[in-house]
Amino acid sequence: MVRVIPCLDVLAEGVVKGVNFENLRRVGDPVELAARYDGEGADELVFLDVGATVQGRRPLLAVLEEVSRRVFLPVTAGGGVRGLGEVEAYLAAGADKVAVNTAAVARPALLTEAARRFGSQCVVLAMDVRSRPGGWEVFVEAGRRGTGLDALEWAQEAEGRGAGELLVTSMDRDGTGAGFDTGLYGALARASRLPLIASGGAGEAHHFAEAARAGATGVLAAGLFHGGRLTIPALKERLQREGIEVRPWA
């Protein structure tokens, strides 16, 4: 079944949203939004501390703990992971899975070490990517620095190192409402056997169906849900009408 996943990008204990990773503005309270999505029938939540890596601080674990107390959904948390200590702290604060981006690029062995200690099922490789001639490049530090890494090759390496899932955001599409980069997700689905969460660009219900048909096993959105322009029940009903299997909703 395709998973419908709201994303909480958290900065200074508020949920924020921007366009192409820039001009972030506060759009809500993370605990209130998480509770709303739980009630609407979301399948999972993604909780990303978008300032931790750039600011060089520890993640906002107290906020995650409060979210985890209020909802009964699997939560993937990330941001500010430097090593196994942060992975363990996120799990202790209520996360079921931990997303790693910058630290994994800096030291790929971290993926293997985390998988061995905590299990591949809770190790998520997060990738922020931009298109380039012939493919897509991986960016780190909240999208501020290009790495030169090819996204497809990095996904394959991460799979070999023990990652259990991919969370891939198209920086080109982020916040635009122009639709998911189906070329990107189709290529990743062919390159890797890992479950794949598509992120960046959702603007209409049919965009989620397109991502699922391209190979995404999870479809993620933030601003579209936060602002109420599309509800999770309405989206799941649309996906079901288009022949895409989803879990029951509220």
pLDDT at 121: 97
pLDDT at 20: 53
* Domain map (residue ranges) of the chain: 3-241
Distances in Å between the Cα of 160 and the Cα atoms of 7, 57, 126 are: 27, 30, 15
Q: Which amino acid is at 68?
A: S
Which DSSP helix (H) or strand (E) runs through 201?
Answer: none
The CATH number of the structural domain formed by 3-241 is 3.20.20.70
The catalytic residues are 9, 128
pLDDT at 60: 80
The pTM of the full predicted model, rounded to 2 decimals, is 0.93
Largest Cα–Cα distance in the chain?
45
Residue 181, both tokens: 């980069």
pLDDT at 18: 56
Each residue's pLDDT, cut to its tens digit, for the chain (250 residues) gives: 999 999 998 886 678 765 555 545 565 789 999 999 999 999 999 999 877 666 766 678 988 999 999 999 999 999 989 999 999 999 999 999 999 999 999 999 999 999 999 999 999 999 999 999 999 999 999 889 999 999 999 999 999 999 999 999 999 999 899 999 999 999 999 999 999 999 999 999 999 999 999 999 999 999 899 889 999 999 999 999 999 999 999 7
